[in-house]
Amino acid sequence: MVMRSEKIGGLKVFTELRANGTSRKTVYQNYVPIVHFNPDLINERKLAVVELVDRAHCSQRIAGKICGFHPNTVFKLLRIKRLLGIESIFEDNRGPKGPFKYIGTIRSHIKKLLRKYPESKDQNIAEKASTDLQIKISRSSVARIRTEKQDKWNLIGKAELIAQAALADSVDRSNFDSRQMQFNFEFDKQISEKIAQCIKQTSPETKTVSDQRVVKRLQQGQRAIFAGGLMHHLFLQEIDFDALMANWPVNPNATYLSKDILATLFHSINLDIASIEALKLIDADDLGLCMGIPRAPDKETSRDHLARMAEHHLSTDLID
């Protein structure tokens, strides 16, 4: 393994060249890893450049230089993400090509099978046609023949969607009411009584550093989209989760400990996050609040730490 480092715009960028020929870039800010990505995969580069700018780690120009994009491309990616969502930056929207390589008799036979078995999957039709005609018919070609006569005028491309979203955004801005809406806390007697009762209550008792961080951030009024997950934090307290993980042989000075990694998996399951890979689509600051840490570990950190934990062969004890 070969490591190469460089400093770009105040950020430290480490490039790891692995023995299997792949590479990995890690961007650090104040000695804390903020972004991991494979420079050979364009989708990971897109996600990294959006995350760097959205989290205000650097400017669009610096982010583009780190991830290998022109500043204009970075601007377009951020605009698409803001208007259409994060998934849209991964779509090319070129659409399938027509099944031009099949002559009329082959196309006719496929259409005949589609009419005869309208509910069959494209793969099943392709296998049946391949058997009948003694040639290889691909599933994608069957799908294209099935849909070639659909009304394509109703399909909206990304450019038109961006234009419509920009128009809606401009209308929303022009009609935006700058006055802040407030709840009727003062004049509703029932609500005011509840407020008075809550004020008399003492602050929650905190037993661990994680609890103290959670309470402090909530008292400061931090918005938390995963606030519902805090009730699961109480469950972890009941089973003394920190004590269960205290004896795990890890570096006590590491940024993330074993309890942070497993707590991330625990909350991910409760929040219906499908996999460790899906952590790249989650706001790490918001998820970190559930565990009482400034920022939840990303997918690369979680995988690397789990691999180190597995080397100790203590999974049976952990399950027990």
- pLDDT score at 88: 80
Strand partners, 285: none
Q: 138-197: per-residue pLDDT in tens?
A: 888 888 788 776 545 455 667 777 788 778 777 766 665 544 455 566 667 777 787 778
What b/e sequence results for 274-307 when a residue is b if at least 16 CB atoms lie within 10 Å of its CB, and e otherwise?
A: eebeebbebbbbbbbbbbbbebbbbbbbbeebee
Per-residue confidence (pLDDT) for residue 200, from 0 to 100: 79
> Mean pLDDT in each 10-residue stretch from start to end of the chain (320 residues)?
82 86 88 88 90 89 92 89 80 53 76 86 88 84 76 60 78 59 65 77 73 74 73 80 74 78 87 84 82 84 85 79
pLDDT of residue 199: 75
Two tokens, residue 61: 């120009």
Residue-wise pLDDT for 120-142, tens only, equals 888 888 898 888 888 888 888 88
For residues 2 and 22, the answer to whether their CB atoms sit within 8 Å is no
Residue 114 Cα distances to 17, 98, 118, 152, angstroms = 50, 17, 5, 20
Q: Taking CA 132 as the corner, what is the angle to CA 103 and CA 148, rounded to the nearest 5 degrees?
A: 40
The region that residue 213 occupies, defined by phi over 0 for left and psi between -120 and 50 for alpha, beta otherwise, is alpha
